Amino acid sequence: MPIVVHGGAGDDPEDGRAARRAGVERAADAGAAVLERGGSALDAVAAAVVVLEDDPCFNAGLGSVLTEDGGVEMDASIMDGERLRAGAVAAVRGVPNPIHAAVRRRSPCVGALRRRPNRPRPIVVTPTASSVPATT
């Protein structure tokens, strides 16, 4: 079964390109291994994302870009289209693999990302009725 992993958008300078390509290939291999063992597509995606989060070449997990105050805040989301369940976390700190937290928060998809009037930052609305201001 084919699996596709995208390592991000933006510039792709020659310096570091081989390392980024190897990281994407490791992520695809991790996801494919889950599928080969009979795991779900959702578990395969999570396994691939963990590899990217653990690789400093990518703007995820270990390689996250720092905030203005020098900290690391990460977001992650995942959706199971077959069961119409999704999970997400935003602006989390001190979590090595935020995708694991997103997987644990999966619930029926009735949430939305919307903007409040007179508020420049988006608000994440989840089925549990919690609203968390997202940092930009």
Q: Which residue has the tokens 């290939």?
A: 25
Q: Domain containing 39: what range? A: 1-63
In this structure, is residue 18 part of a structural domain? yes
In this structure, is residue 13 part of a structural domain? yes
Amino acid at 2: P
In this structure, is residue 29 part of a structural domain? yes
In this structure, is residue 122 part of a structural domain? no
Domain count, the chain: 1
Q: What is the pLDDT along the chain (136 residues), one digit of tens a residue?
A: 678 898 887 788 899 899 999 999 999 999 999 999 999 999 999 999 999 999 999 988 888 888 899 988 899 999 888 888 888 888 888 888 999 988 877 655 444 444 445 544 444 444 443 334 444 3
Determine phi and psi for 103, rounding to 5 degrees.
-60, -40
- The answer to whether the Cα torsion of 55, 81, 90, 9 is positive or negative is positive
Q: Which residue has the tokens 């930052």?
A: 121
In this structure, is residue 96 part of a structural domain? no
